[in-house]
Structure 1
Amino acid sequence: MSTPLKIAVVIASSRPERSGPTVAAWVMAGTRNRKDASYDLVDLAAQDLPNLDEPEPASSGNYTQAHTQAWARKVAGYDAFVFVTPEYNHGIPGQLKNALDFVYAEWNDKVAGIVCYGSSGGFRAAEQLKLTLNELQVAVVRAQVELSTFDDMDPSGAMTPRDYQPAKRKAMLTAVERWAGALRTLRD
């Protein structure tokens, strides 16, 4: 590969006192010695995206708002994404769905990995996220990480992942990098 892959680790929650930054820091710790990609944190809480306010569907590519244009450039700059998402009421946070809906072509022919968390591991949020990503033409790797707020975090919210979780993280990151490299040729 001529240039390293660029992968965004997206913190999907924006609520106060959230666990997302802690979980994302754990994900980022697993990227330190990887050679085929560079990883950036992208916190949706810092993106200043209002509720979707574009007059046309994102698939038109006719973005009229400055915040949408900035978000489109950011998304377009990455080869792949790792979504760090909590499960809220058996689904993904509204902030994440909103961010996905703002742009369209910028997501196409890319790949995503999922790190989900919640009292039951976040499985239902991951399944819901896969449906939306499929419509955006984002391939989702099979390997994913499900973290329990009871078993992989202590009562203060600090990460205490079970012994097998780092291997799951590594498998997911490896799969994301492999697919990102393959899909880059499609986009080129």
Structure 2
Amino acid sequence: MSKPRIGIVIGSTREGRFADKPAQWIYEIAKARGDIEVELVDLRDFPLPFFDEPASPAWAPSKSDVAQKWQKKVASFDGFVFTAAEYNRAPTAVLKNAFDYAYTEWNKKAVGFVGYGGVGGARAVEHLRLIAIETQMAPVRAGVHIVWADMLPVMQGQKKLEELEHLKQSADDMLNQVAWWSKALLAARKAEAEEASIAA
């Protein structure tokens, strides 16, 4: 069976964002594994307007060209890891918006999170787990939470994420679970598609 393709999505688009550092860090760790293929996905490359379609993509095709491009990109992956900044106890608006611009493309795929902020982005990640469940994803238990005490020296250039061994352990745990569930769900989706083709 082919290796699952995992999209590592940078969940912030603002100027001067911190998100590039954890995204590149988790990408390098994931890329070094032999059991998955990974791609870094930047939401800046998909300038989605705030959701303004006539209906959810769960019910009707999107009209926006950039929305269709985004849906095609989402569909190309078997699992995901999102960087998750926390703004006012919630994820970024741009990341929630990106979730809303797809639906079936998310279904039956694993997802993990790399949160950062005052409490390691934990409250934003909790929101995202609920959103993931509503879009029929399988959020994994393990996550990475970069607390302010770790984040600040990295922002100031005094440390690198690669030097923080406790975060590496969390990253490995999360990626192990994302890889396992992505493989299992990929096999299940293939079996389901084969059954559907036989029935047709």
TM bucket normalised to smaller: over 0.9
Equivalent pair of 2:86/2:115 in contact (CA under 8 Å):
yes
Matches within 5 A, 1:98-177: 98-154=97-153, 155-156=155-156, 159-160=160-161, 162-177=164-179
* Aligned-residue offset at 1:45: 1.8
Q: CA RMSD in A?
A: 1.4
Q: Which amino acid aligns with 2:170?
A: K
TM-score, length-normalised on structure 1?
0.94
* Aligned-residue offset at 1:152: 4.0
Deviation digits for residues 79-108 of structure 1, max 9, x if unmatched?
Answer: 000011111110000000000001110000
Give the whole-Å Cα distance in 2 for the aligned partners of 1:17 and 1:149: 17
Equivalent pair of 1:61/1:104 in contact (CA under 8 Å):
no
Equivalent pair of 2:116/2:151 in contact (CA under 8 Å):
no
Equivalent pair of 1:61/1:105 in contact (CA under 8 Å):
no
Q: Which amino acid aligns with 2:3?
A: P
Q: Which amino acid aligns with 1:167?
A: Q
Greater shift, 162-171 or 7-16, is seen at 162-171
Deviation digits for residues 27-73 of structure 1, max 9, x if unmatched?
Answer: 11212321111111111122111111211122114222211111110
Residue-pair matches, total: 187
Give the whole-Å Cα distance in 2 for the aligned partners of 1:176 and 1:153: 28
Q: Residues 61 and 177 of structure 1: is their aligned pair in 2 closer, same or farther, counting only changes over 3 Å?
A: farther
What residue in structure 1 maps to residue 70 of structure 2? 71
What residue in structure 1 maps to residue 82 of structure 2? 83
Match status 1:186 vs 2:188: yes
Q: Which amino acid aligns with 1:57?
A: S
What residue in structure 1 maps to residue 45 of structure 2? 46
Higher helix share: 2
Structure 2: tracts of 5 or more residues without a match: 191-200
Give the whole-Å Cα distance in 1 for the aligned partners of 2:150 and 2:32: 26
Q: Percent of aligned positions with the same letter in both sequences?
A: 36
* Aligned-residue offset at 1:153: 4.3
Q: Which amino acid aligns with 1:156?
A: Q
Greater shift, 46-55 or 19-28, is seen at 46-55
Structure 1: tracts of 5 or more residues without a match: none
Q: Which amino acid aligns with 1:47?
A: F
Greater shift, 61-70 or 74-83, is seen at 61-70
TM-score, length-normalised on structure 2?
0.89
Q: Which amino acid aligns with 1:128?
A: H
Give the whole-Å Cα distance in 1 for the aligned partners of 2:22 and 2:89: 19
